[in-house]
Amino acid sequence: MTNMTVEDIPAQPSMLKEHWGGLVFLVFVILVILWSLLRVIAWMGDEEQLPLSQIVVQGELEHLTPLEVRNAVLQLGGLNSFMIQDVDDIHSAISALPWVANVAVRKQWPDTIKVNVTEYQPQAVWNGSFLLDVGGDVFGADPAEVKNLGLVSLHGPDGSEKEVLEAWREMRSILAPTKLEIAALALNERRSWRIVTRDGVRIELGRESRNERLERFVDLLDDFRSTDRAIQYVDLRYDTGAAVGWKAPEADAGDENT
Nearest to 40 by CA among 31, 27, 53, 49: 49
Categorize the per-residue pLDDT at 252 as very low, low, confident or very high, splitting at 50, 70 and 90: very low
Of the candidate ranges 113-117, 135-139, 230-234, 238-242, the one whose mean pLDDT is the lowest: 238-242
Q: Which part of the chain is CATH 3.40.50.11690? A: 122-257
Q: What percent of the chain has pLDDT over 90?
A: 65
Lowest average pLDDT, out of 42-46, 185-189, 247-251, goes to 42-46
The CATH architecture of the domain made up of 54-119 is: Roll (3.10)
- CA dist 258 and 247 (Å) reads 17
Q: What's the predicted TM-score (pTM) here?
A: 0.75
Count of beta carbons in the 10 Å neighbourhood of residue 202: 15
| Each residue's pLDDT tens digit, 192-230 | 999 999 999 999 999 999 999 999 999 999 999 999 999
- The residue with greater pLDDT, 141 or 49, is 141
Q: Is the pLDDT of residue 6 over 70?
A: no
Range(s) for CATH 3.10.20.310 in the chain? 54-119
The predicted-structure confidence for 78-91, as pLDDT tens digits, reads as follows: 777 777 788 999 99
Domain at 122-257, CATH homologous superfamily: Cell division protein FtsQ/DivIB (3.40.50.11690)
| pLDDT level of residue 31 (50, 70, 90 thresholds) | confident
Read off the pLDDT band of 251 (50, 70, 90). Answer: very low
